[in-house]
Amino acid sequence: MSARIIDGNALAAQMRTDFTTRAAAMAQQGITPCLAVILVGSDPASQVYVRNKIAACEKSGIKSLKFEYPQDANPADVLGKIAELNADQSVHGILVQLPLPRQFDADAVLEAIHASKDVDGFHAENVGALAQGRPGFIPCTPNGCMEMLKSAGVQVKGAEAVVIGRSNIVGKPMALLLLQAGATVTVCHSQTRDLAEHLRRADIVVAAVGKPRMVTGDMLKPGAVVVDVGINRLDDGKLCGDVDFASASEVASLITPVPGGVGPMTITMLLANTLQSAERQLKARQA
Ligand code: NDP
């Protein structure tokens, strides 16, 4: 079998065209959707992520503000900026790029962002809403994975799904979203005794580990749908996922590539959350 590719770049481009229209419609009504991004330190990967997020905002007609702090920044200064942005009606989303330097309590920083502007979906209020199936901001990466499954017409209801990884950013919210969509979900992690045994039963596999090519074709059920969240940089500078694309695509029915899969969808869902926040403000104003 040769798997069909779920093209994240194509889906992202399609969704972003709609965003541009929505942002323009809101601007006509006096609201310019705006995302504020806070970057602390000089981590090269974080700088690239922030640059890409800001460029994506600009292309979709979403205003962006960038606030940069040095590696030795005082957490009080960053918390002060967050308080200021929380109070600013013209800002609809606030994002603090992770990881933060050691002197920061990352949880406290994320909790300081008002839940109504928490477009990353990491605030406890939004996490709780997701767990209870109530409306709130959904973390961008797992939300992007769900959009990819939807776009490919994957039947999630009733499927056996295995999520590899249990981080707050990807694994846990991914498992909740699949559960809500009607899948029977197993979450595997570093203490899982026999990963391959779980994978062999899975109709849907989401790999979010951070280990290059650890999921190989022989571990998969024939016809499985494979979503590869992992982004790993190899010694030759190339990127690869957590799934061994060559062997997995011989067994799977659908697969997401790395790069060009989940990555572009993560940024797309950030834009979606920012627009959702701005539209909420517009609705409240019209009520
Ligand atoms: P974390 O390091 O926070 O979590 C990794 C998870 O993998 C942990 O739950 C860990 O288990 C589990 N794990 C580690 N080793 C194994 C193993 N041998 N078998 C099974 N599970 C294992 O990573 P993130 O969730 O933040 O990110 C995961 C990957 O996704 C990374 O490559 C990251 O770069 C990428 N990523 C990609 C994004 C995108 O836009 N495409 C966005 C965010 C992340 P335990 O909890 O027991 O330690």
- Cβ–ligand 1 contact at 199 (below 6 Å): no
- What is the CATH class of 28-114? alpha beta
Query: Ligand 1 center to residue 32 CA distance, Å?
Result: 35
Query: Ligand 1 center to residue 207 CA distance, Å?
Result: 8
Q: Which CATH superfamily is domain 140-263 in?
A: NAD(P)-binding Rossmann-like Domain (3.40.50.720)
**Alpha-carbon gap, residue 71 to 55, rounded angstroms:** 23
**Alpha-carbon gap, residue 229 to 264, rounded angstroms:** 11
Task: Indicate the pTM of the whole model.
Answer: 0.97
145 near 185, Cβ under 8 Å? Answer: no
One digit per residue, pLDDT tens: the chain, 287 residues? Answer: 699 999 999 999 999 999 999 999 999 999 999 999 999 999 999 999 999 999 999 999 999 999 999 999 999 999 999 999 999 999 999 999 999 999 999 999 999 999 999 999 999 999 999 999 999 999 999 999 999 999 999 999 999 999 999 999 999 999 999 999 999 999 999 999 999 999 999 999 999 999 999 999 999 999 999 999 999 999 999 999 999 999 999 999 999 999 999 999 999 999 999 999 999 999 998 88
**Active-site position among 7, 81, 97, 242:** 97
Q: Is 242 in the active site?
A: no
Identical fold, 28-114 and 140-263: yes
From the CB of residue 222, how many other CB atoms can be counted at a distance below 10 Å? Answer: 11
- Which of 233, 254, 258 has the alpha carbon at shortest distance from 244? 258
**Alpha-carbon gap, residue 46 to 161, rounded angstroms:** 31
Q: Domain residue spans in the chain?
A: 28-114, 140-263
- Which of 20, 4, 6, 62 has the alpha carbon at shortest distance from 37? 62
- What single-letter amino acid sits at 96? V
